[in-house]
Chain A
Amino acid sequence: EVQLLESGGGLVQPGGSLRLSCAASGFTFSNYAMTWVRQAPGKGLEWVSSISAGGFSTYYADSVKGRFTISRDSSKSTLFLQMNSLSAEDTALYYCAKGSSSFGSGSHSDYWGQGTLVTVSS
């Protein structure tokens, strides 16, 4: 059974940093692209970033480019999202999702975690 367990969310001050993790199990992690999607309270889904299976290709939404970094550790079956220069607009539930293929682009998300909440506030 595919399981994705996000962690690392919490309350952070504007301008601060946070690192999210997503522990994956139930599939061969190194064979699939992975994605972060966020959802602000009461709002819709926003694609944030994707990474190819091998980790060599990464993609970012314009809203986070230059501030967020996606990475993966296949030895630990874990996906990461390093978030810097956070602002109130980054407040959201952050979901980790498994891609349906090895490609970071063009791959829909077939399994999702339950999310970790990030709140940016002073």
Chain B
Amino acid sequence: IQLTQSPSSLSASVGDRVTITCRASQGISNFLAWYQQRPGKAPKVLIYAASTLQSGVPSRFSGSGSGTDFTLTISSLQPEDFATYYCQQLNSFGTFGQGTKLEIK
């Protein structure tokens, strides 16, 4: 199963609302997780089961979708949110998307 994220990179400002899309090459129900990776750090899970917020993750992060199309939304960007985001499908092993780099405008 292939995952395609869009966009590959994104420039935004603090306070902006941003959406990242992840499309699966075949249906994966809701077996999708989103991770954030800051430079030089290990990834951190934000969302699992497509829309469930991991404990301790700020509520400005949300996920939606089912089947083949999924989105990660950050409602109001904070300085610490500028990072790279990955989706991962868990329906068949654990393929990752190619990543979306979120940069400061």
Contacts and interface: CB of A to CB of B under 8 A. Distances in A.
A45 interface: yes
B45 to A, nearest CB: 5
A88 interface: no
Contacts of A115: 42
B54 interface: yes
A114 B96 CA distance: 18
Contact of A44 (B31, B48, B99): B99
Given A113-B42, A115-B42, A107 B90 contact: yes
Contacts of A35: 94
Contact of A108 (B33, B37, B97, B99): B33
Interface of B: 31, 33, 35, 37, 42-45, 48, 54, 84, 86, 88, 90-99
B99 A109 contact: no
Contacts of B97: 44
Nearest to B90: A106
Interface residues of A, number: 21
25 contacts: A37-B94, A44-B84, A44-B86, A45-B35, A45-B37, A45-B86, A45-B88, A46-B96, A47-B88, A47-B94, A47-B96, A50-B93, A59-B93, A105-B90, A105-B92, A105-B94, A106-B90, A107-B90, A108-B90, A109-B35, A110-B45, A110-B54, A112-B44, A114-B42, A115-B42
B96 A95 contact: no
B99 A100 contact: no
Given A35-B94, A44-B98, A106-B91, A112 B42 contact: yes
Given A50-B94, A108-B33, A45 B42 contact: no
A67 B87 CA distance: 26
A107 B93 CA distance: 9
A61 interface: yes
Contacts of A59: 93-94
